[in-house]
Amino acid sequence: MAARIRDVWASNLDIEMSTIRDAIERYPYVAMDTEFPGVVARPIGSFRTSSDYHYQTMRCNVDLLKIIQIGITLCNEDGELPDDICTWQFNFHFDMSEDMFSQESIELLHKSGIDFQRHQSEGIQPNDFAELLITSGLVLCDEAKWISFHSGYDFGYLVRLLSCINLPTTEDQFFDLFSLWFPIVYDVKYMMRACKGLKGGLQEVADDLGVMRIGPSHQAGSDSLLTAATFFKMRELYFNDHIDDGEYNGKLYGLGKTVLATNGSLDTQSALGIGMALGLRSGATIAERERTPLLREQNAVGQGQQQQQGGGQQQGMSMGGGPGMIGGTPLQTPGGPMSGAFPNSLGTQYGAIPVNVNGTYHLRQIGVGGDR
């Protein structure tokens, strides 16, 4: 069964996307997962709601970092897979000597079998993938139904990749773009609210439902295949094989209306309190929960630094934990671990992110005792 997961690199991107284009009409359910190089930044300042805080955290990280893998699994209405290859694992160009990442995230992905040397030499260029995805029949149409698990970050990366610009300043603008590219999306984590007894991350839910994983965890192909199987088993057991689109379509767990709004503004210290109340460390967003347990433990070190932050500032981005650290996690930047102050602009594969311009980010480090 593992042989049905096809690794896609730059050399076979065209032919595999052609295969997907041919299959999507018969298999219109698209289960998706991504792997990315961690969470390296937090927004600072005032936020209207906890949802706004979660979105701004996702936004600043997606704008700073590069995608590593995207996994796609195709199914039909009955959850049946194509006879041959059913899952495609797209491996993107990633250069550890040039691209920013969290050390612990990279170590976790390396232990899961991701070959970063091959990503550097044979990885897919994001724009090449985006061009083919736009014409694939998977996006911009109501017939394709996307399945995901806890997928705010996943779709954040996809929307940025497809749009080829930084994510919108506001969450409402993001959801406008998101619903344009992906008219039908089911987030299994959000759907679990109607499933008594189901809780936890993807693997825990799959185990509870008796769904078996194929392939290694923390690889996007295997995770997308497990997401597909979990969705259809949950639909059968809890939803009588019918999903109410009015209730579940377009809801991303941890973003938008899936997060309870708060009255007034939310400063960074309040966001930390909300995170702790939800069982998250260092003000971690809901959208990060259960995705990287190792990082959540590391982020506990940075809790004291984040509690120093006050409200009422323009939204910015904090780098917690002292020079070279993100909430206790070493941050790798081009040329090695971060040292000194961040530059006034930071390059990404899509260009530079300016500072102090309407809704963009102050790049600053937060050390012991507050701002540096």
DSSP symbols for 79-110: SPPPSS--EEEEEB---TTTS-EEHHHHHHHH
pLDDT at site 194: 92
Of the listed ranges 80-89, 204-213, 306-315, the least confidently predicted one is 306-315
Tell me the average pLDDT across 92-109. 93
Question: pLDDT tens-digit profile of 124-161?
Answer: 999 999 999 999 999 999 999 999 999 999 999 999 99
For residue 344, pLDDT beyond 60: no
Q: What is the mean pLDDT of the chain?
A: 78
Q: Which residues are CB-neighbours of 45 under 8 A, at least 6 positions away?
A: 267, 268, 311, 312, 313, 314, 315, 316
pLDDT band at 317 (very low <50, low <70, confident <90, very high): low
Q: Tell whether the model's pLDDT for residue 14 goes beyond 90.
A: yes
Looking at residues 302-325, what average pLDDT do you find? 42
Does residue 235 have a pLDDT over 50? yes
Listing from the earlier edge strand, what are the strands of the sheet with 69-75?
5-8, 87-91, 69-75, 29-35, 145-148, 184-187
Name the CATH architecture for the domain at 5-262. 2-Layer Sandwich (3.30)
- Asked whether residue 286 carries a pLDDT value surpassing 90, the answer given is no
The answer on pLDDT for 312 being more than 80 is: no
User: Taking the model in full, what pTM does it have?
Assistant: 0.76
For 57-75, write each residue's pLDDT tens digit: 999 999 999 999 999 999 9
Spell out the domain ranges in the chain. 5-262
| pLDDT (mean) for 172-181 | 97
Among 109-113, 195-199, 264-268, 323-327, which stretch is predicted with the lowest mean pLDDT? 323-327
What confidence score (pLDDT) does residue 47 get? 83
